[in-house]
Amino acid sequence: MKRREDELTLDDLLTIIRIRHIARERISKYIKLPVDDIKVTIENRKVKFELRCSNCCGQVRTITYQGSGGNYKVYFSDTVYFDTHIKYQTLAAKDFFFLVQNERMMFRHLVMDMTWHRIRRNRFKYPFISFHRKVQKYLQTLNHQLNVVFFAMRFFERPDDPRTFNQGLAMTILPFIRPDTLLTLQFRVWKMFNEPDYYVNMNTVSQTEQWRACLKLDLWCERIRIQDYSILTGFDMVRLLNLPQEDLDKLVLAYANFISPPGDPWDQFWYTDILVRETDFKRTEFNEIIRRVVPKDKRLAFYAKKQLFTSFGVLSWKIRIGRKIMEAIRPERRN
């Protein structure tokens, strides 16, 4: 028997039941949609939303969820909206879910940020962990992924905390983004007060579909250090703050071994621009590195060159690695 277009399936009904359960108390119903630009900032005892619609007046609307001593308040555009008994992280997570849950919504920017503040040494007191875990739980109720063009996230990780280790916080959001709409990924690692130096190698997020599908990758962060440079291949552009001289051989060899996925229009016409911090690369000869590390059968179809370049107002080295073709005829991948 043919199903009518307006007839609900069992999966549709279960989704509605889950959403209605989440919706018992929220304020996002007072927000005018659509919204295509969302920035979430975790601050000391508060979560702040900044919302914008590019097709409207472009005005930024703010919602702040604040909690202290068991008292929870919501400020809408700097005005006290109401007091609530619901924990501020829970209410903020519910509203975030309702802002993004419509599968027709397209978000130009989705930014998850956190600001510096002094926190207790007890690792179970980090307020942003609660928010991100609740958002993850709500997003798991959806049967579709979010349409996002630019996704940025600041996170941290600790080896003694399984909730944050191996980019645990980033993985609460990233897997729920639709890969074929994502153009840019940006990651920053946050250093907490009085924490020792530590570095993140991006070994977990780099295995996601979203990482492999995006075209631009921004890792301009002191606390990100790459160990396996093959995870940087296949992009239009990569911004990488840390590229030690001793890792140049690994970088070149990783690109020499890169094979485009089946059906990629870049199969024979690819190159990647890698922007790195301005450092002592003046004496670096990439042709010598290619002769030293690249197998003979791949040298003729491979090249690397460098030049000083200003990116985002910062003087950087631009290292272009690719095949020896006429760059002007490289086909477009995605708009």
Report pLDDT digits (tens) over 133-145: 999 999 999 989 9
What are the start-end ranges of the E strands in the chain? 37-43, 46-52, 61-68, 71-76, 79-84, 106-114, 147-155, 184-189, 216-219, 237-240, 271-277, 303-311, 314-322
Q: Is residue 230 part of a domain?
A: no
Q: Is residue 304 part of a domain?
A: yes
pLDDT interval class at 328 (50, 70, 90): very low
What mean pLDDT is predicted for residues 32-53?
87
Average pLDDT, the chain: 80
> Can you give the residue range of the structural domain that contains 303?
243-321
pTM: 0.84
DSSP lists the bridge partners of residue 71 as 68
Question: What pLDDT is recorded for position 84?
Answer: 74
Q: Is residue 104 part of a domain?
A: no
Structural domain count of the chain: 1
Judged on CB neighbours under 10 Å (0-12, 13-18, 19+), 58 is: exposed
Q: Is residue 59 part of a domain?
A: no
Q: Is residue 141 part of a domain?
A: no
Q: Is residue 262 part of a domain?
A: yes
